[in-house]
């Protein structure tokens, strides 16, 4: 009886494990900027086709963790990462991994919209061109159109693809950056406070977009807005002082968090 | 009283005024400094300013006005016959009077009497005192000199009194005006602002003055040589200026000089642009911050080397080297050891000028490349671009307008550069395309035309001003356009 029930529990657990497939795995991830430690042994996995929100007071290491996922920290002088981060089971810090290829698979959208000072078309075509994703002009046109459509920008810009991307409004620029990231068909898209420079209407459009993108991409988003995390994400990870406090279903985090610090942060007691 | 002693006295009044104003303000405040409008130092400064400025103004007016007034008075006392002489001779006479007057101060009263009686004895006597005269003075000169001496002494006394009075009056008035509600700070700052405005307008006015003087001389030149002959003439052959002749006997074609200037500048840019730009890209994008902190100042030191040093380098090393190596090459190829590169040539001058320009190109471009926002680089790297792809496709295109501006500024330096071309380019004003032959530039010809015996009435000399103003306008246009481009580029990223 006893044995049976234990087996049943195990079976149930197994089933649960099998349901979840992890796109990226972070084990004991620590990051140092020079002598300063910014992350302390973070264990955080990212589920496939899920939006994972990273929340926490500013300076707690959200962006730092996000950037370890596509090795953007490599571009910062004196930054050192330890621990293991895997994409589909392969360690991305392994010397045999080509960082260029990694970043094609794990794209990034930044806090401030940063379109290149080029035409809208060229902004979107930039990635595909670098990675040789289109052989003909027609193929490139198709990629550009599809990416802009996915980013919900096509109808607004289809008549002015040759105009400069920097001439768009802030919200349009950010969606252009999302289209640019989408154009290389990444598997994961990292977003670092993508709406912090946008007005509420533009923010709503981007959030809507994130919802739609979830069908095709795995998304990790840093946000300082609780409401945004609650609206767009399925999983939420709470950081504090360089440590992962807890990670759970978004509903659970926002209704009944395990950790007092999460509770306090969500209630606006610090941050 | 000598001027320096006078200035010292005025300064002393100023310092006393400062201390006095300061004290009075503190006394008025009675320990509660907050009841003063300004800190006590400002009251002190205000008093000092009132002591100094009027006094110095009086002194300046005297320095400018008194020689003019005294001079014209003395001259009007010259005999009729002398006054009828040409202006140049009169000037000489007046100078002699001045010299005698200076000598008079060194003489005893008896000696003065001797001179007054016998003008012919003056020259020997004065030269024994260390005041040489060019000729024996005429009797009226000695008389005039004595007048001059008297007038100078009186005018000095008057100015001393006036300046001291102005300083004291200013200080007293300002001292008595010190009151807690006096806005001393605002006034002192107003005076300082006026000083700053004055300093910057001096710079601007000097520029305007230089241009104006060049323009007047150039207009003078164009009254002798038609402008179209100068601007479109293809032959440069100014001949020599025959003494006294004012007709234009030579040919003053600008085109060959301009061709040389542009050709040498082009060769220089050919050397400087790739090297400088690549250096800048390395420094801005690849070099470690440690290397950068060493290399950047080093390159900037290179920019501070006087160009005459580069000129030596061209003359003594590069030119002979190119000549010899061309002889060797020719020997290997044809068996005849005649050098086909001359020591002074477009290539020599252009190459060395190019080396001189490398630091300008690299440090200007470096600033512009580093000004490209990091966000753009991150955006590109985040899409999986390599570093060099990012540089090629994002950073350089974004920096391009600024770099073009920097290159235009560099080009204007190349065009105005003088010492290197004087030593390395040669003086032959020719129009040809062989970079191994000497050519000459506008700047070289300016130097040539202004060396030696000058007569500022002949077109041979005046052409230098026409050349100068042409050069000035070319570089001015280049610089304005470059600044415009750079500024527009800056705005893009504000
Ligand atoms: N480039 C950097 N160099 C040095 N320290 C950094 C750098 N970026 C971030 N940090 C430090 O790392 C810590 C975490 O920063 P970050 O990840 O940007 O926080 P968050 O995104 O949560 O606000 C902060 O203390 C910050 O000062
Ligand atoms: Mg951040």
Convert the pLDDT of each residue in B245-260 to its tens digit.
445 467 888 999 999 9
Residue B493: pLDDT band (50, 70, 90) is low
Q: Please name the residues in contact with B444: beta carbons below 8 A apart, sequence gap of 6 or more.
A: B257, B260, B418, B421, B422, B425, B427
Same domain, B172 and B313: no
Picking from B379, B384, B393, the nearest residue to A114 by CB comes out as B379
Does B97 lie at the interface with A, CB-CB under 8 angstroms?
Answer: no
- Picking from B150, B165, B182, the residue at the C-terminal end of a domain is B182
Give pLDDT, residue B341: 84
Segment 107-136 of chain A within 8 Å of chain B by CB: 107-108, 110, 112, 114-118, 126-127, 130-131
| CATH among 3.40.50.300, 3.30.200.20, 3.40.140.10, 3.40.1180.10 for A6-266 | 3.40.50.300
Same domain, B378 and B460: yes
Segment 275-294 of chain B within 8 Å of chain A by CB: 288-289
- Alpha carbon distance B413, B204 (integer Å): 21
Same domain, B162 and B305: no
B425 within domain boundaries: yes
pLDDT at B181 over 50: yes
Domain ranges of chain A: 6-266
What are the phi and psi torsion angles at A222 (to 5°)? -90, 135
Give pLDDT, residue B162: 94
A214-238 tens-digit pLDDT: 999 999 999 988 899 999 999 999 9
Same domain, B367 and B284: yes
Residue A157: pLDDT band (50, 70, 90) is very high
Give pLDDT, residue A14: 53
Same domain, B51 and B147: yes
Q: How far is the CA of A21 from the centre of ligand 2 (A)?
A: 27
- H-state helical runs in chain A: 2-19, 62-68, 99-105, 120-130, 137-150, 154-157, 170-182, 200-213, 226-232, 250-255, 260-266
Does B377 lie at the interface with A, CB-CB under 8 angstroms?
Answer: yes
Q: Which residue, among B376, B384, B493, would best test binding to A if mutated, counting the most A CBs under 10 Å from its CB? A: B384
Residue carrying structure tokens 């246009």: B477
Tell which wins on pLDDT, A21 or A271. A21
Q: Which residue of A has its CA nearest to B390?
A: A130
pLDDT at A136 over 90: yes
Residue A188: pLDDT band (50, 70, 90) is very high
Give pLDDT, residue B412: 92
Residue A18: pLDDT band (50, 70, 90) is low
H or E element: which one contains B256? helix B255-281
User: What would the mean pLDDT of B18-30 be, rounded to a whole number?
Assistant: 90
Contact A180, A123 (CB under 8 A): yes
B213 within domain boundaries: no
- Alpha carbon distance A237, A271 (integer Å): 15
DSSP A43: E
User: What would the mean pLDDT of A96-107 be, rounded to a whole number?
Assistant: 91
Give pLDDT, residue A1: 45
Of B125, B110, B111, B119, which Cα lies nearest the Cα of B145?
B119
pLDDT at B268 over 60: yes
**Residue B158, domain extent:** 3-182
Residue carrying structure tokens 């349009």: A172
Contact A44, A26 (CB under 8 A): yes
B85-143 tens-digit pLDDT: 877 788 888 888 888 888 888 888 888 888 777 777 778 888 888 888 777 888 888 88
User: What would the mean pLDDT of A186-194 be, rounded to a whole number?
Assistant: 94
- Alpha carbon distance A96, B411 (integer Å): 47
- Alpha carbon distance B362, B56 (integer Å): 48
Domain count along chain B = 2
B196 within domain boundaries: no
User: What would the mean pLDDT of B175-187 be, rounded to a whole number?
Assistant: 89
H or E element: which one contains A41? strand A36-47
Same domain, B264 and B126: no
Give pLDDT, residue B248: 47
Same domain, B404 and B311: yes
Contact B186, B46 (CB under 8 A): no
- B chain contacts of residue A103, beta-carbon cutoff 8 Å: 381-384
Q: What is the mean pLDDT of chain B?
A: 87
Residue B241: pLDDT band (50, 70, 90) is low
Minimum-distance ligand 1 atom for the alpha carbon of A192: 21
Dihedral, CA of residue A141, residue A147, residue A151 and residue A155, to nearest 10: 20
């Amino acid at each position: 009886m006893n044995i049976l029930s234990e087996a049943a529990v195990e079976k149930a657990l197994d089933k649960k494990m099998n349901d979840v497939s992890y796109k990226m795995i972070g084990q004991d991830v620590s990051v140092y900027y020079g002598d300063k430690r910014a992350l302390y042994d973070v264990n955080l996995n990212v589920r496939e086709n899920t939006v994972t929100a990273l929340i926490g007071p500013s300076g707690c290491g959200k962006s730092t963790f996000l950037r370890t996922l596509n090795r953007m920290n490599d571009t910062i002088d004196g930054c050192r990462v330890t621990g293991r981060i895997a994409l589909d089971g392969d360690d991305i810090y392994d010397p045999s991994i080509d960082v260029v290829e990694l970043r094609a698979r794990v794209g990034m959208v930044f806090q401030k919209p940063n379109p290149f000072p080029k035409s809208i078309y060229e902004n979107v075509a930039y990635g595909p061109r670098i990675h040789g994703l289109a052989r003909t002009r027609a193929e490139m046109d198709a990629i550009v159109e599809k990416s802009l459509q996915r980013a919900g920008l096509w109808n607004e810009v289809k008549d002015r693809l040759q105009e400069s991307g920097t001439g768009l409004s802030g919200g349009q620029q950010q969606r252009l950056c999302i289209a640019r990231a989408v154009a290389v068909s990444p598997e994961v898209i990292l977003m670092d406070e993508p709406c912090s420079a946008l007005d509420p209407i533009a923010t709503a459009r981007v959030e809507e977009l994130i919802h739609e993108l979830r069908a095709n991409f795995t998304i990790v988003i840093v946000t300082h807005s609780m409401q945004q995390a609650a609206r767009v994400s399925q999983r939420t990870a709470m950081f504090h002082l360089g440590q992962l406090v807890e990670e759970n279903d978004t509903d659970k985090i926002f209704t009944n968090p395990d950790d007092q610090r999460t509770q306090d942060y969500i209630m606006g007691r610090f941050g | 009283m000598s001027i320096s002693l006078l200035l010292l006295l005025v300064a002393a009044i100023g310092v006393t005024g400062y201390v006095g104003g300061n004290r009075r303000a503190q006394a008025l405040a009675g320990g509660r400094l907050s009841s003063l409008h300004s800190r006590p130092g400002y009251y002190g400064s205000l008093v000092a300013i009132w002591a100094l400025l009027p006094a110095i103004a009086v002194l300046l007016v005297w320095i400018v006005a008194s020689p003019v007034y005294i001079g014209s008075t003395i001259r009007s006392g010259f005999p009729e016959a002398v006054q009828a002489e040409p202006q140049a001779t009169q000037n000489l006479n007046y100078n002699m009077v001045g010299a005698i007057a200076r000598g008079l101060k060194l003489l005893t009263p008896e000696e003065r009497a001797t001179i007054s009686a016998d003008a012919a004895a003056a020259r020997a006597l004065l030269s024994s005192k260390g005041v040489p005269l060019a000729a024996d003075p005429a009797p009226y000169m000695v008389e005039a000199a004595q007048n001059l001496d008297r007038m100078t002494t009186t005018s000095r006394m008057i100015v001393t009194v006036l300046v001291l009075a102005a300083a004291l009056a200013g200080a007293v008035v300002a001292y008595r005006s010190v009151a807690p509600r006096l806005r001393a700070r605002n006034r002192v700052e107003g005076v300082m602002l006026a000083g700053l405005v004055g300093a910057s307008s001096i710079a601007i006015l000097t520029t305007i003055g230089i241009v104006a003087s060049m323009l007047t001389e150039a207009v003078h030149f164009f009254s002798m040589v038609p402008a179209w002959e100068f601007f479109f003439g293809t032959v440069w052959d100014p001949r020599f200026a025959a003494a006294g002749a004012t007709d234009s006997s030579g040919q003053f074609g600008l085109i060959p000089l301009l061709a040389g200037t542009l050709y040498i500048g082009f060769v220089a840019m050919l050397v400087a642009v790739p090297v400088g730009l690549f250096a800048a890209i390395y420094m801005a994008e690849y070099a470690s911050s440690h290397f950068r902190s060493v290399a950047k100042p080093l390159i900037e030191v290179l920019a501070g080397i006087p160009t005459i040093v580069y000129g030596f380098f061209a003359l003594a090393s590069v030119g002979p080297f190119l000549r010899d190596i061309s002889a060797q090459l020719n020997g290997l190829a044809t068996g005849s050891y005649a050098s086909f590169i001359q020591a002074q040539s477009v290539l020599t001058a252009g190459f060395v000028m190019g080396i001189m320009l490398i630091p300008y190109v690299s440090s200007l471009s470096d600033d512009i490349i580093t000004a490209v926002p990091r966000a753009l680089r991150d955006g590109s790297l985040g899409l999986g671009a390599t570093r060099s792809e990012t540089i090629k496709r994002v950073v350089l295109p974004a920096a391009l307008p600024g770099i073009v501006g920097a290159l235009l500024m560099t080009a204007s330096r190349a065009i105005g550069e003088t010492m290197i071309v004087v030593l390395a380019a040669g003086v032959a004003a020719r129009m040809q395309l062989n970079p191994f032959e000497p050519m000459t530039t506008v700047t070289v010809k300016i130097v040539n035309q202004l060396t030696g015996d000058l007569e500022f009435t002949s077109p041979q000399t005046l052409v230098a001003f026409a050349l100068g103003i042409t050069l000035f306008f070319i570089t001015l246009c280049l610089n304005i356009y470059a600044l415009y481009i750079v500024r527009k580029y800056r705005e893009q990223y504000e």
